[in-house]
Structure 1
Amino acid sequence: MDDRIDGFVDNIFGGGNLMIINGVLGLVFIILGIILLARKRSEKAKKTVGFICIVIGIGIVLSGIVQSML
């Protein structure tokens, strides 16, 4: 059972799949942050969440790039 789980995890996160997952997830966070910042009648808390989403998205994309280099 352990070998099957290990094989499944290796298939999902091995190779280029992790880079694709990180890239898509990072872009989703960046787009969400831009949407929250672009609203005209946005509250201060929503703008703060927008900035946080953008920073997290950039971090996720950079993490994927670094992991693909190693």
Structure 2
Amino acid sequence: MTQIPILQPARWSRNGVRIVVVPGAELPRFRLEIEPGRAVLTGAFTGPFATVEEAERAAEAITSAADRKLSA
């Protein structure tokens, strides 16, 4: 079995939200990292996600919700 290396570059990054590979996972798993100080909804689900597409959809939802919250 191949394990994912501990350090992985972000696969996607925008507006303070990054998609990263979960270290040590036997299968590719992705999670979201949110920069400290970034206004996000409390309880936002950050993973793990089985596909990068799921993680991208969650990241888009978090950033758009936070942007709406800031503009209100």
Taking structure 2 as the reference length, what is the TM-score of the superposition?
A: 0.36
Higher relative contact order (CA 8 A, sep 6+): 1
The structure carrying a bigger strand percent of its residues is: 2
Taking structure 1 as the reference length, what is the TM-score of the superposition?
A: 0.37
The structure carrying a bigger helix percent of its residues is: 1
Larger Rg: 1
